[in-house]
Amino acid sequence: QVQLVESGGGLVQPGGSLRLSCAASGRFFGINRMGWYRQAPGKERELVATITSGGSTNSADSVKGRFTISRDNAKNTVYLQMNSLKPEDTAVYYCNAYVMSSSYSVTDYWGQGTPVTVSS
């Protein structure tokens, strides 16, 4: 079984910064794409940013220039550096990973979510 454990969420003032981390643990062969999604109250879950094992990234227009996704393949960890935070960034942030087993099957895993609140 694979677990994704997120950390780094919390309360921050507008214009502030936070860094989210998500570490994958368990038995697996490798991790393909990793990413962050978020869900605000009353809204659907939306993509924030993704990163492949080779380092190619993709991000939502709403966070371009403010958020940066990165990963440490040796630690099976993905990060989300969030700068210039706005109240509209308030949401529960979920980590996602496409994990490959030793039989080369790929399974989609989700973390439990970490809340981010941007408020003065």
Give the residue-averaged pLDDT of 82-93: 98
Q: What integer best gives the mean pLDDT of the chain? A: 96
Q: How far apart are CA 25 and CA 119, in angstroms?
A: 33
CB 35 within 8 A of CB 22: no
Residue 1 has pLDDT above 90, yes or no: no
Calculate the dihedral angle through the C-alpha atoms of 13, 18, 20, 21, rounding to the nearest 10 degrees: -140
Q: What is the pLDDT of residues 28-78, one digit of tens each?
A: 999 999 999 999 999 999 999 999 999 999 999 999 999 999 999 999 999
77-82 and 18-25 as β-strands: parallel, antiparallel, unpaired? antiparallel
Q: How far apart are CA 39 and CA 24, in angstroms?
A: 21
CB 26 within 8 A of CB 16: no
φ, ψ at 87 (rounded to 5°)? -55, -35
114-118 and 10-12 as β-strands: parallel, antiparallel, unpaired? parallel
Q: How far apart are CA 107 and CA 97, in angstroms?
A: 8
- Residue 87 in tokens: 């109240």
- Residue 76 in tokens: 């099976």
Q: Residue 72's pLDDT is what?
A: 96
